[in-house]
Chain A
C-alpha cells in the first residue's frame, strides 16, 4: 500500500436545491498524512469527503488524487476507500466475506481472498471472529471490521466519516490509538472527518477547521490551538474566554483592546488596526489568580472537578470567565479576587462567527 496526495483545486459543491455546501476550496493533503477536517455538523466536511470518494461531483473546480483528475471517475474507480459513519457492514455476509468483498469484485479467487481477509482480520485482532455475522459483534469489533474491509482493497487514500462517534468514551480513545497505529503501519493517506476536536488534535498530522462551507485554517494541532486565525477556529477548537471590544492601539504584533471589562493587551496575529471590532481570546489554562497587567475583579461562582484539573467559574462585572487549575487541593479563593492573564497568552482576532457551543457540540 502506498499513500497518495489529494488536492482540491478551487472545488465547490452546490446541491440541486441551491444550497452551497462547499465554497471554492483549495486543499492539499500530502501522501501518507493523517489529515483531519474538523467542523460542526452541516459545515460541508462530509460533502468534501463524498466528493473525494466520488459520490458527489464538484460543481466547479477539480479533485486530484495522486496528481490525476478524478472527473468522470465513479467511487468504484478511485484509489480511495470510505469508512462510513454507520460503518455499512453487509449484514447478510460473514465478517470474512465482508472483508473479502473488495477482492471478490476484483475477481480474486475464493481461496486467495479468504486468506487475505484472514490476514487483515488478524491485523485488527479479529482473527477468531471471521465466521460470525457483523450483527454478532460489538461496536468496537464492527469498527475494526470496517477498517479491515477498507484496507483489503489496498486504497491509497482512506476516508473516514466520523467512524468513532457511535462508540463509548473508553473505546473511542482506544480506537484513536489503533487508527493512528494502522495509519503509520500502512502509510496510507487518511482523511478523517470529525466534529470532535479531541479526535482531530490527538490523531492528526494536520487539521483543517471548516465552517459554513469554507476551510478557515489548516495547520498542525498545535498551530490551530495556539495560533487560531479566525474567531471561529479559536472558539471551536478548545475552550476560550472571550472579551469583545474595539482595538485601541496596535503596534509590533501586539494590540490593546477596549472591552466592557476594561482595556487589555494581547498578541495581534492578524494585524488588526485601530478601531477594528475584535474579540480577545484567552484559554482557561492561561488564566491565573492575581493582580497586575490584564487583570479584572471576579468572584468564584462554581468549581467543577475534571479529574487532573479543576475548572473555576468566575463571575466578573460583565460576564463569566473560566480558569483551569491543576488539581492540587489548594484552598478556593474567597470573596472578590483579581484574575489575570499574560499578554502573550492571549490574542485578539477580528470579530466573526463564534462556534456556538464549541465544547458541548464536540461532546455530542
Chain B
C-alpha cells in the first residue's frame, strides 16, 4: 500500500468519524420516534421542526411534545439572540481597541499585554463563568443575562482582537502617518483610513464572535443563575433520563445549516478581503 493511499484512507476515516454522528442526527430528526433513532424507522415526519409553531391543540395531542415547555424553549432561544446582540458589538469594540493598541502603540509592555488580553480565551470556561458569578454577586448583581454577557465578553473579545490584529499588521503604518501628515486629525485618520481597511475583517470577526457566543455552554452554564440560553436549555433537555426528544435533533440540524451558511459567507468575505 502506497503512503498516498494510506493518507487517503486516513482522511476518509477521519471525515467519517467526524460527520457520521452529524448525519445520524440529521436523519433521526425526520424519524417519527422518540427518543431519536435511525435503526427503528417509524416514518418520515416534520413534526420535530413544526413543534416550534404548531397550534397548541396539536401540541397537547402529541404524547412526546406535550411534555415539553415550548414557551420556555423559545424564550431561552430569544435570550441567546439577545446575549449575542450585546456580546458581538461589545467584543468588537474591545477587540478593536486591543488590536489597535497592540499593533500601533509600541510599548515594551505589549508582550505582557498580549498574554493578559488573550488569557481569558485560554482559561477554562468554567473558571470564567464562576468568576463572573462571584464577582458580580459581590457587586450586588444577581446572576442572569447580564452576568452571562459579562462572562462571555471576557473570552469572546479575544477572537476579534486576533483577527483585527492580523489585518492591522498587514496595513503599513505609513498609510495612517500619510493621512495625518496631510492634515487629518487622528480621529479622522481612524475613520477614513484604518476602519475602511478593517471592514472585511470586522465582518468576519463579528460572525465568529456571534457563533462563539451562541454556542457557548460551559461559561454560560456557570454564569446564568436562573436564566437560560439555547445552549444551556438543550443541555438540560439532553440530560433527560428517558432519552432526549428529537426536537433537539431538529434544532441541531438547523444550527448546522446556519453554521455552514455563515461559514460560506465568511469564506466569501475572506476571499474578497484577500483580493
Query: Which chain A residues have a beta carbon within 8 Å of chain B's beta carbons?
Result: 53-55, 74-77, 80-82, 84-86, 88-92, 101-102, 105-106, 149-150, 152-153
Contact = CB atoms under 8 A, between A and B. Distances in A.
7 contacts: A75-B181, A84-B174, A84-B177, A88-B174, A91-B197, A105-B183, A105-B188
B172 A86 contact: yes
A74 B180 contact: yes
A102 B172 CA distance: 19
Contacts of B197: 91-92
Contact of B182 (A55, A81, A85, A86): A81
Closest 3 CB pairs of A and B: A88-B174, A102-B182, A88-B178
A88 B183 contact: no
B260 to A, nearest CB: 30
A75 B177 CA distance: 8
A86 B174 contact: yes
B193 A90 contact: yes
B106 to A, nearest CB: 9
Interface of B: 172, 174-175, 177-186, 188, 192-193, 196-197
A75 B180 contact: yes
Contacts, number: 61
A90 B179 contact: yes
Contacts of A150: 182
A190 to B, nearest CB: 15
Contacts of A102: 182-183
Contacts of A92: 196-197
Contacts of A81: 181-182
B177 A55 contact: yes
A82 B183 contact: no
Contacts of B184: 76, 101, 105
Contacts of B183: 76-77, 102, 105-106, 153
A357 B175 CA distance: 33
A76 B177 contact: no
Contacts of B174: 84-86, 88
A53 B182 contact: no
A76 B175 contact: no
Contacts of B172: 86, 88
Contacts of A80: 181
B196 A82 contact: no
B179 A53 contact: no
Given A76-B185, A105-B188, A88 B175 contact: yes
A75 B173 CA distance: 14
Contacts of A153: 182-183
B216 to A, nearest CB: 35
B56 to A, nearest CB: 54
Given A84-B174, A86-B172, A88-B172, A76 B193 contact: no
Given A90-B175, A92-B196, 9 more contacts: A75-B177, A75-B181, A76-B184, A81-B182, A82-B181, A85-B174, A86-B172, A105-B192, A149-B182
Contacts of A149: 182
A22 B131 CA distance: 51
A363 to B, nearest CB: 25
B178 A76 contact: no
A6 to B, nearest CB: 15
B271 to A, nearest CB: 17
A75 B175 CA distance: 13
B191 to A, nearest CB: 11
Contact of A53 (B181, B186, B188, B193): B181
A77 B182 CA distance: 9
Contacts of A84: 174, 177-178
B148 to A, nearest CB: 38
A83 B197 CA distance: 21
A80 B185 CA distance: 15
Nearest to A80: B181
Contacts of B175: 88, 90-91
A91 B177 CA distance: 14
A48 to B, nearest CB: 15
Nearest to B176: A88
Contacts of A90: 175, 178-179, 193
B196 to A, nearest CB: 5
B176 to A, nearest CB: 9
Nearest to B193: A90
A101 to B, nearest CB: 6
A85 to B, nearest CB: 8
A247 B172 CA distance: 52
Contacts of B188: 105
A271 B188 CA distance: 57
Given A105-B188, A106-B183, A88 B196 contact: no
